[in-house]
């Protein structure tokens, strides 16, 4: 049997019966390695170890931690005032406040699931009380939290950059503009819905400069996290990993020293959770590296590239196909393994067609962020529904409507790479 066929077949069978993806990757690779006498077995352990032995990946636990520590400090509450002063006076104010708080939270947390939990608890009940349709309140909260992995920091960016060996810092900064555009267009769409259903404003007129300054004062300490991360990377003060650790140390200082809202037992729990999640992610990275090595050994990426070039040599067509592929993966697979497994296969095609690696990375990460909203496996939606005790089946219509702006930004970024590349080209020209 063709080893490549055997590899994919055994991998597909294992994941479809529900074996962990890390195990499916490792076991299917080992079956092929045992059968092929040309491959020394020690490659497996060596590859796995080398994949984990990477300073870049160390950013993962800390991009999770900066968000969860600040969450203990009740940042969601602290950001509301500022958001109210910005968008509270528009029709459907509370929905826009949710998106704005989501955007700022996204600048603090590198994971969307933590954000979905925080936003759902704080915003869904009051929206229901204020007479918003239940399904709309759940859907807009889920969409707002999906920005968590797009606006820097983002653990998906760290993983993609590590797998593709590109600059984490550049990819992080590249996501800022499309992420903000997504947030703003989400507000436009929810404003449209607010007009149709006549949702209330939170204040009759704009609260004024004074309220804005007061809101800023309250938000300035949490906002230190994105300033440290983006500012530190852009200014060349430190690497992305160092930025993640310093941001975590800063968050600790704020929540323990200033807010005094984090007890030691909680701290132990939060640290351990971030560490254990990192272990699961990196175990997947480790076994995927064996799988990836085998693919390269059998020249699968080369063949895929040749096959693709046979049909089309258009970078845009390729990027659109990448969006289709990762959208499909996003409906049933976690973003982390999807990126780890499929990135090595698309990279050489992108290279052959001259797609900018940062552009390709941003497209993949943004599409996988949208995957957090597509059912059956749309984590942000599932979390928002679980917390608000609202049936998933009833959100669908309005959810798909609210995904349109997100999808439009992804498509625009596909056709106009400048949307992604302009900020890093201006700020960190030597990395792009």
d(CA 108, CA 227): 9
CA distance readout (Å), 344 to 27, 39, 131, 232, 408: 19, 20, 48, 29, 26
Under the criterion CB under 8 A, does residue 290 sit at the interface with another protein? no
Q: Is residue 20 part of the contact set for another protein (CB under 8 A)?
A: yes
Please state the closest distance from residue 230 (CB atom) to another protein, in A.
16
Q: Which whole-number Å values give the CA distances from 154 to 33, 74, 123, 161, in the listed order?
A: 35, 20, 23, 11
Q: Judged by CB, which is closer to another protein: 41, or 220?
A: 41
Nearest Cα to Cα of residue 169 among 147, 153, 180: 153
Instruction: Report, in Å, the least distance between residue 340 CB and another protein.
Output: 9
The nearer residue to another protein, 24 or 146, going by C-beta atoms, is 24
Determine the 3-state secondary structure of 162 from DSSP. helix
CB of 242 to another protein, least distance (A): 5
Which of 156, 333, 355, 423 touches another protein (CB under 8 A)? 333
**Distance, CA of 23 to CA of 29 (rounded, Å):** 10
The distance of closest approach from Cβ of residue 334 to another protein in the complex, given in angstroms and rounded to an integer, is: 5
Q: Pick one of 17, 38, 311, 354: the residue that binds another protein (CB under 8 A).
A: 17
Give min distance, CB of 2 to another protein, in A: 23
User: Does 65 help bind another protein (rule: CB under 8 A)?
Assistant: yes
Task: Determine, following the binding rule CB under 8 A, whether residue 336 of this chain makes contact with another protein.
Answer: yes
Determine whether 393 is exposed, middle or buried from the number of CB atoms within 10 Å of its CB (0-12, 13-18, 19+).
Answer: exposed
288 binds another protein (CB under 8 A): no
How many other C-beta atoms can be found within 10 angstroms of the C-beta atom of residue 52?
Answer: 14
Q: Where are the beta strands (DSSP E) in 122-187?
A: none
Nearer to another protein, 237 or 309 (CB): 237
- Contact call for residue 422 and another protein (CB under 8 A): no
Least CB distance from residue 68 to another protein, whole Å? 12
Asked whether position 9 contacts another protein by CB under 8 A, the answer is: no
Q: Which residue has the tokens 């002063």?
A: 85
Could you say which residues in the range 218-277 bind another protein, by CB under 8 A?
A: 237-238, 241-242, 245-246, 248-249, 252, 267-269, 271-272, 274-277
Candidates 276, 112, 131; CA nearest to 194 is: 131
The reply to whether 293 sits near another protein by the rule CB under 8 A is no
**Measured torsion, CA atoms of residues 49, 55, 56, 59, in degrees rounded to the nearest 10:** 110
Among 10-18, 155-163, 297-305, 366-374, which window interacts with another protein (CB under 8 A)? 10-18
Reduced DSSP (H G I as helix, E B as strand, rest coil) percent helix, strand, coil of the chain, to 5: 80, 0, 20
Q: Are 268 and 10 in contact (CB under 8 A)?
A: no
As measured in angstroms, the least distance from the Cβ of 60 to another protein is 9
Q: Give the residue with the Cβ less far from another protein, 217 or 276.
A: 276
**To the nearest whole angstrom, how small is the minimum distance from the Cβ of residue 57 to another protein?**
7
Q: Do residues 339 and 160 make contact, with C-beta atoms less than 8 angstroms apart?
A: yes
Query: How crowded is residue 129: how many other Cβ atoms within 10 Å of its Cβ?
Result: 10
Closer to another protein by Cβ: residue 161 or 207: 161
Are the CB atoms for 243 and 228 separated by under 8 Å? yes
Which is closer to another protein, CB of 14 or CB of 75?
A: 14
Interface with another protein (CB under 8 A), residue from 19, 211, 345, 422: 19
Considering only residues 338 to 397 of the shown chain, the ones binding another protein according to CB under 8 A are 376-377
Q: Does 282 bind another protein (CB under 8 A)?
A: yes
CB 140 within 8 A of CB 101: no
Q: Does 334 bind another protein (CB under 8 A)?
A: yes
Instruction: Copy the structure tokens of residue 335.
Output: 């973003």
Of the residues 5, 35, 55, 391, which one makes contact with another protein according to CB under 8 A = 55
CA 341 to mean position of chain CA atoms: 16
CB 8 within 8 A of CB 291: no
Q: Which is nearer to another protein, 251 or 403 (CB)?
A: 251
Q: Of 150, 284, 323, 428, which one interacts with another protein (CB under 8 A)?
A: 284
Length of the chain: 432
Residues in binding contact with another protein, number by CB under 8 A: 62
C-alpha count within 13 angstroms, C-beta hemisphere, residue 180? 11
- The answer to the question of residue 72 lying near another protein (CB under 8 A) is no
Judged by the rule CB under 8 A, the positions of this chain that interact with another protein are 14-24, 26-27, 30, 41-42, 44-46, 49, 52-55, 57-58, 61-62, 65, 237-238, 241-242, 245-246, 248-249, 252, 267-269, 271-272, 274-280, 282-284, 286-287, 332-334, 336-337, 376-377
């Amino acid at each position: 049997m063709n080893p490549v066929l055997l590899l994919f077949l055994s991998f597909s069978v294992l994941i479809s019966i529900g074996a962990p993806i890390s195990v499916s990757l490792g076991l299917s690779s080992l079956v092929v390695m045992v059968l092929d006498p040309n491959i020394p077995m020690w490659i497996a352990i060596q590859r796995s170890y080398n994949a984990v032995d990477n300073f870049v990946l160390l950013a993962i636990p800390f991009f999770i931690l900066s968000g969860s520590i600040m969450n203990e400090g009740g940042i969601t509450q602290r950001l509301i005032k500022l958001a109210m002063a910005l968008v509270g006076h528009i029709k459907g104010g509370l929905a826009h406040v949710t998106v704005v708080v989501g955007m700022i939270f996204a600048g603090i947390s590198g994971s969307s699931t933590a954000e979905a939990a925080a936003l759902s608890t704080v915003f869904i009940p009051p929206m229901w009380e204020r007479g918003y349709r239940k399904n709309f309140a759940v859907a807009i909260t889920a969409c707002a939290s999906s920005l968590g992995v797009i606006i820097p920091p983002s653990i998906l960016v760290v993983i993609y950059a590590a797998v593709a060996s590109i600059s984490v810092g550049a990819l992080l900064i590249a996501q800022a503009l499309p992420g903000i555009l997504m947030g703003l267009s989400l507000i436009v769409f929810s404003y449209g819905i607010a007009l149709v259903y006549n949702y209330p404003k939170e204040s009759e007129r704009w609260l004024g400069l004074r309220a804005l300054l007061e809101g800023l004062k309250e938000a300035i300490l949490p906002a230190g996290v994105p300033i440290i991360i983006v500012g530190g990377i852009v200014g060349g003060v430190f690497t992305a990993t160092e930025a993640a650790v310093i941001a975590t140390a800063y968050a600790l200082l704020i929540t323990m020293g200033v807010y005094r809202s984090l007890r030691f037992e909680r701290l132990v729990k939060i640290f351990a959770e971030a560490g254990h999640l990192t272990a699961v992610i990196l175990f997947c990275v480790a076994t995927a590296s064996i799988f990836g090595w085998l693919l390269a050994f059998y020249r699968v990426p080369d063949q895929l590239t040749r096959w693709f070039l046979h049909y089309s040599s258009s970078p845009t067509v390729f990027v659109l196909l990448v969006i289709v592929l990762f959208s499909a993966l996003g409906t049933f697979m976690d973003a982390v393994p999807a990126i780890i497994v499929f990135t090595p296969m698309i990279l050489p095609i992108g290279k052959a067609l001259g797609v900018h690696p940062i552009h390709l990375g941003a497209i993949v990460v943004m599409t996988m962020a949208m995957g957090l909203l597509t059912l059956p496996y749309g984590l942000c939606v599932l979390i928002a529904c679980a917390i608000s005790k609202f049936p998933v089946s009833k959100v669908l219509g309005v959810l798909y409507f609210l995904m349109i702006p997100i999808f439009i930004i992804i498509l625009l970024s596909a056709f106009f790479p400048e949307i992604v590349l302009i900020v890093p080209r201006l700020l960190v020209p030597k990395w792009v």
